[in-house]
Chains A and B, each alone.
Chain A
Amino acid sequence: MALSASNLKAGDTYTECLVDDLSRTQIVMYAGASGDYNPVHTDEKFTKEMAGYPSVFAHGMLTMGMTGRMLTNYVGDGRLTKYGVRFTSQVWPGDTLNSTATVVDVTDGIVNLSVETTNQDGAVVLSGYAAARVD
């Protein structure tokens, strides 16, 4: 279901919970599907002893992928024209993430959105933007 330009105004928001209590298994699923087998995402022994982190952590692209799910649920399938993010904090097993898209403007059939994903402590883990075609 696509958005209608006439129903959108700057400041409108759309929020979804991306994940509640992120499991290590979901991180493994992402590694398998994406082909990114960096052991810092799935190999606790390596990550603690060699990389120096307290546990494995999620791929940034897993957070970006789940945030993309929020976006396509909002703007509709096949409607995105741009989507970009910065990864601002690591995401750990057990984290609960919420993501919000905020309308910046609507011009010439395109809605520009700012995008932010935060964890259970309110820390921003991903911030970025997206643009999508609207009706």
Chain B
Amino acid sequence: MAVDKFPVEGSHIMMFARSIADDNQIYYDADYAKSTEAGGVIAPPTFAQSSAQFDPTYFLRPQIGEDWFGSGKEATSIKKKESSGGGGGGGGGLHAEQHFEYHRHIGPGDVLTAEVKPGKTWEKEGKRSGKLVFSETITEYRDQNGELAITARGVGVRTERPVDQ
């Protein structure tokens, strides 16, 4: 997802750390964090993925005033012909791989941009879900000085049918 402005904030890091059940005080307590080698609060290793919060049209977040494909009265609020349907993830596909390369560790005060470049696409026959279509994206997170902070490579997969359990 392309993001023009991803301000890294302490409260967001705190909520993210709670969500992965990480009680490391470097994510919560600026005074403690100052005394560590990192010298201040830093973000957990996978935090960059939450740049989705700053993508104004992120497709996996309900948009104000628009139909959402999750359930309300019905199992989905999107009429059938408009449904993005298909794919075992129910609209979004599934996440197959994620890779991060850290050029430096980000923390509160950093304001990042995220530039997305398309990568390879390939297909494979899956035993449990039919034909699999993989697509790769490379995301470069740069800081307020234009320096590369994190390079992320994600691979998504669309399955022909839900994965057999």
Contact = CB atoms under 8 A, between A and B. Distances in A.
Interface string B72-91: 00011000000000001111
B97 A34 contact: no
Contacts of A40: 89-90, 92
A72 B17 CA distance: 12
Interface residues of B, number: 51
B96 A86 contact: yes
A45 B37 CA distance: 47
Interface residues of A, number: 50
Q: Give the most central of B19, B22, B60, B163: most A CB within 10 Å.
A: B19
Given A2-B37, A65-B46, 8 more contacts: A29-B15, A46-B76, A46-B90, A50-B76, A52-B88, A66-B21, A68-B46, A78-B38
Contacts of B105: 78, 80
Contacts of A62: 19-20
Q: Which 5 A-B pairs have the closest CB atoms?
A: A51-B90, A84-B99, A39-B70, A49-B75, A35-B52
A45 to B, nearest CB: 4
B24 interface: yes
26 contacts: A32-B19, A33-B50, A34-B50, A36-B52, A36-B60, A38-B89, A38-B91, A40-B89, A40-B90, A46-B69, A50-B69, A51-B162, A59-B95, A61-B95, A64-B46, A65-B20, A69-B24, A72-B44, A77-B36, A77-B42, A78-B105, A80-B102, A83-B102, A84-B98, A87-B95, A90-B163
